[in-house]
Amino acid sequence: MTTKTRFAPSPTGFLHVGGARTALYSWLHARANHGEFVLRIEDTDIERSTQEACDAILEGMEWLGLTWDEGPFYQTKRFDRYNEIIAKMLADGTAYKCYCSKERLEVMREEQAAKGERQRYDGCCRDLAPRGSDEPFVVRFRNPLTGSVIFDDHVRGRIEISNEELDDLIIARTDGVPTYNFCVVVDDWDMGITCVVRGEDHINNTPKQINILKALGAPIPEYAHVAMILGDDGAKLSKRHGAISVMQYRDDGFLPEALLNYLVRLGWSHGDQEVFSIDEMIEFFKLDDINKAASAFNTEKLIWLNQHYIKALDPEYVAQHLLWHMNDQQIDMSQGPELTAVVSALSERAKTLKELAQSSRYFYEDFEQFDEAAAKKHLRGVALEPLTLVQTKLAALTEWSQEAIHQVIEDTATELDVGMGKVGMPLRVAVTGAGQSPALDLTMLLIGQARCAQRLSKAVEFVANRVNS
């Protein structure tokens, strides 16, 4: 039998990291078993579902590279199928019409609460004959009254729930709209889902859904309920912990490989290995190895992984992701080096792509002022002679190469009998506007001869003015 998993988010908000981890685990289980991965949009909450949220979910999945084999399927487009099954269940007696008013149900729950009893439907309409068609009703599933639901969860182990604890849950509301727990069952059945990976908050739904599947004569999938993700402070991850939307991590400068690598380790491990390629995740991943305890989100660890991937991945690939940030920061790239070359030059220093984009601006755009601290330290009177001499030597170059630039800096230091830093640091501030950059010869090579000459003239004038003032 082909392994088939699904990710089924509700489009009432963006794709958050908890959902992304669930999607990743589902995707990995399918890929590890040469199976199929289905994307389903559970949009039956019509009032809260939005197209914006749906688009954000699809964008997040695509950015992460979690490609799906089937879908996306939308529950709101499957109402005819749900109604067909509900009609059959009513005819078979596995479901019934309930005419209880809201007022009666409220009184019933209050009485149960007063007695310390579990609040559940009392079965008032369970054996009533159908009434007139104009009287409002909901449709309830006729849950078994005895016995238990038993299933072996890949994460939680053996779980047993007595049917006496379960309700005759509503499967269609008075307006005819089917409910979440029912739609999920029909979808998983129709789509041939063999394994359901989802959050532990769905554990209470599982026995209800299993009973409906049994009533329909449908196969029961396997289940894996993963623990929640906590913030750095041990509380449930929320907006106050910072970026929790997947695309916010994109906006903050993280590579998808870094986020995936971090998420896969947030509750799963393979020995002491920390860094995993996608192929390694697929090779080693097993649902039974997921930890049942909640995991705490550690932003510093994610930053460390991101820095690793910026350095380790092909610069051309990193540049493709960096381009979004260059455009977002409105950096004019019409004049300047290839972005891939800038990635190669700056990757050792950058923790995020956002930071990398910020620090690359001087390669493409001229600056109006020198960094105040760097200028105060390095563009002093003693820098005038080295800057003037190196300016003359650079202007005489017929070949603008890294080797030639390095030789000019070295020859200038030798001729003036000063250390390389006495030449290099003022020159770095002159051509970049600040005190930090990659190797100076490489930096100047990428900035270009004409732009370096222009900036050197500006720096010489700046220092001369300070000397004369």
- Return all residues near 153 (Cβ < 8 A) that are at least 6 apart: 159, 203, 223, 224, 225
pLDDT bucket at 236, cuts 50 / 70 / 90: confident
Same domain for 104 and 205, yes or no, is yes
3-class SS of residue 302: helix
This prediction has a pTM of: 0.92
Same domain for 204 and 113, yes or no, is yes
Per-residue pLDDT, 130: 77
In a domain, 394, yes or no: yes
- Compute CA 446 distance to the chain's CA centroid, rounded to the nearest angstrom: 34
Residues in the chain: 469
> Which H or E run includes 225?
strand 222-226
Per-residue pLDDT, 35: 98
> Which H or E run includes 148?
strand 148-153
**Which amino acid would we find at residue 37?**
F
Same domain for 109 and 155, yes or no, is yes
What average pLDDT does this structure show over 417-421?
Answer: 94
Nearest residue to 25 via CA among 13, 34, 37: 37
In a domain, 199, yes or no: yes
Tens digits of per-residue pLDDT, 325-357? 999 999 999 999 999 999 999 999 899 999 999
- Return all residues near 223 (Cβ < 8 A) that are at least 6 apart: 151, 153, 154, 195, 196, 197, 198, 206
What average pLDDT does this structure show over 416-423?
Answer: 94
pLDDT bucket at 232, cuts 50 / 70 / 90: confident
Same domain for 375 and 297, yes or no, is no
pLDDT bucket at 241, cuts 50 / 70 / 90: low
Per-residue pLDDT, 244: 76
Same domain for 205 and 87, yes or no, is yes
Same domain for 166 and 205, yes or no, is yes
By CB atoms closer than 10 A (0-12, 13-18, 19+), residue 299 is middle
Q: How many structural domains comprise the chain?
A: 4
Distance, CA of 57 to CA of 9 (rounded, Å): 8
In a domain, 253, yes or no: yes
pLDDT bucket at 239, cuts 50 / 70 / 90: low
Domain C-terminal end among 302, 325, 342: 302
3-class SS of residue 153: strand
Same domain for 286 and 326, yes or no, is no
DSSP string, 340-363: HHHHHHHTTT-SSHHHHHHHTHHH
In a domain, 134, yes or no: yes
Distance, CA of 18 to CA of 230 (rounded, Å): 10
Same domain for 190 and 92, yes or no, is yes
In a domain, 309, yes or no: no
Domain C-terminal end among 293, 326, 357: 357
In the chain, % of residues over pLDDT 70: 99
Nearest residue to 198 via CA among 29, 82, 63: 29
Domain C-terminal end among 195, 226, 257: 226
In CATH, what number is assigned to the domain containing residue 460?
1.10.10.350
Question: Is the CB of residue 446 less than 8 Å from the CB of residue 337?
Answer: yes
Same domain for 410 and 446, yes or no, is yes
pLDDT bucket at 469, cuts 50 / 70 / 90: confident
Nearest residue to 173 via CA among 248, 252, 82, 262: 82
In a domain, 95, yes or no: yes
In a domain, 308, yes or no: no
Same domain for 374 and 416, yes or no, is yes
Cross-strand pairs, 139: 97, 172
Handedness of CA 233, 238, 243, 244 (dihedral sign): positive
Give the domain extent around 319.
Answer: 314-357
- Say if residue 242's pLDDT is above 80: no
Same domain for 246 and 282, yes or no, is yes
- Rounded to the nearest integer, the mean pLDDT of the chain is 94
Distance, CA of 139 to CA of 122 (rounded, Å): 15
In CATH, what number is assigned to the domain containing residue 61?
3.40.50.620
Distance, CA of 163 to CA of 77 (rounded, Å): 32
pLDDT bucket at 313, cuts 50 / 70 / 90: very high
Per-residue pLDDT, 240: 62
Cα dist from 392 to 366, 386, 445, 451, 467, whole Å:
21, 10, 17, 15, 20
In a domain, 403, yes or no: yes
Same domain for 200 and 91, yes or no, is yes
Tens digits of per-residue pLDDT, 141-153? 999 999 999 999 9
Question: Is the CB of residue 412 less than 8 Å from the CB of residue 372?
Answer: no
